[in-house]
Structure formats: structure tokens, C-alpha cells
Amino acid sequence: MSEDGLRWVYAVARTFDEHAVKDVRGVAGAPARAVETAHLVAVVSDVDSAEFGSDQLRSNFEDLDWVATVARAHDEIVHAIARNTAVIPFRLGTVYTDDERVREVLAERASEFNAALDFVTGRIEWGVKIYVRPDAIASPAGGRTESTKDGAGTAYLMRRRAQLTARETATQDAAREAEAAHAHLTSIAAAVHTYPAREWSPGAQAEILNAAYLVDESRTEEFRGAVAELRDGCHAAGLDLTGPWPPYSFTAPASAAAP
């Protein structure tokens, strides 16, 4: 354990099973280990200040490839721990100078961490993204027969209007379907968090909703079944399911602003 090194924090849990992360490479390829207090553990890696010190961290975060690599490693460790025990994952970029400081944070915020752990225990996060189906937009419901008296310009405008109407209709239908789907899934979940829907760009899906649902483990099949049914029942909206995730989206009670 280097005295000059820093501590990257992955998550807080009640217990740490070193076998769970034995073969998992963490951030900067470092292994994960525990910093323990009486009832809580922080899962950390020893990392180098050359890469993770204040200035370096800031500029590394401007590099998408660096962030992607670190994000995946961070998530690998969090996922590995989450298999055996409830975890409260940390956001990327929480670095402390030494174990003592980590222990202080665990002690200072013990009741918040315990409350957050209680909340996610026995629950799984799922992600559902709802978008306007491209095939719903692309097939305008049959144009009216073009009159042979109309010129090419008029015929074009009529076709264009039919296309725009079909797109608007599909979008409105999809929005209605999305609202109903979200309400149904929310009724099964213990908690819900919505992320900003992705801004539309050419070639991308027209995203309506990007939501995370925290679901009791005992209701996993019910939730997944509901997503499948909703997907089949929607004509204009498409549903993508992601997960299971560790409860990244439901850790707010444990967070604290800078003093």
C-alpha cells in the first residue's frame, strides 16, 4: 500500500468478500480492496497521483476514451460486489488521499449510508428507454390518390404533408404509449428515476423516456413480463430494457455537497 498513492472509491457496502473481486481488474488495472469501519466498508483501489491527482483527473475527464475505460472498470468492480451484497455505488471521480480519510467519511456519514443501503437491499435496478419506432414514422398510412390534374409540385406537397402528418401522429401515439407504459412500470417499482431523454439527432432514435426503476427482487419476473407485454402492445413506441444494474440511480440519500 503506497503512502504516495491515492484511493479511488467504488462503493460502500456492509461487507466485503474478496473472492468476489479476486479476478476483476479495477480502475487503472488495480485490484479492489476494503477499507473497513465497524459496520461499513468502502471498496477502493490504490491509484497513482500522476493519473488521478487533482489536475490530472480533471484533464483526463475530458478524454472520452479515458472516461469510457475507467467507467467500465468501475462498473466491473461494483457489479462484482453487488452479486453478494447490497451496495451503494459511487459516482466516477471520488478520490481520497489515504485510508484514514476514507474511514472518516464512513464514520461521518454512517447513518446516511445505512439508510441508503436499507433502501436498496433486496432490490434491483432496471433501465427502460422508450422511443418513437422508425417504422411507425416511415410508413404514412397510404396517400390519397393523386389527381391527374395536379402538377408535379402539388403532388409533391401532398405527399410531403402526408409524411409529416404520419410523423406527427406516430410521435403523439408513441408519447401516449410511453406515458401509459411508464405509469404501469412505476406501479411495480419501489422507486423511479428519470434521466434526460437523449436529444434527437439525425440517424438516432427519437427518445421519449429514459427511466431507471428500482424493483423488489421478488417482482423481477413481473417487471420483465410487464416490459415484454408493453413492448408487444405498443404500435408507435419501442421499448429497450437494460440491466440488471447496481442501484446507481438510487443513491441520493447518501450524497453530500461540499462543506
Partner 1 sequence: MALIDLLDRVLGGGVVIAGEITLAIEDVDLVHVSLRAVIGSAGTLRRLADG
User: Is 62 among the residues that bind partner 1 (CB under 8 A)?
Assistant: yes
DSSP letters along 13-49, please?
ES---GGGGTT---GGGPPPEEEE-SS-EEEEEEE-H
Q: How far is the CB of 43 from partner 1 (least distance, A)?
A: 12
Q: Is 193 in the site for partner 1 (CB under 8 A)?
A: yes
Per-residue contact string for residues 194-233; x = within reach of partner 1 by CB under 8 A: -xx-xx-x-xx-----x-x---------------------
Q: Is 58 in the site for partner 1 (CB under 8 A)?
A: yes
Nearest to 234 by CA among 177, 171, 175: 177
Asked if 61 touches partner 1 (CB under 8 A), the answer is: yes
Burial of 93 (0-12, 13-18, 19+ CB in 10 A): middle
Binding mask 65-84 for partner 1 (x = CB under 8 A): x-xx--xx-xx---------
Is the Cα dihedral 216, 220, 226, 227 positive or negative? Answer: positive
Helix, coil or strand: residue 92: coil
DSSP state letter for 252:
G
The reply to whether 3 sits near partner 1 by the rule CB under 8 A is no
Measured from the CB atom, the residue of 61 and 156 that comes closer to partner 1 is: 61
Does the protein bind partner 1 through residue 92 (CB under 8 A)? yes
Give the residue with the Cβ less far from partner 1, 22 or 72.
72
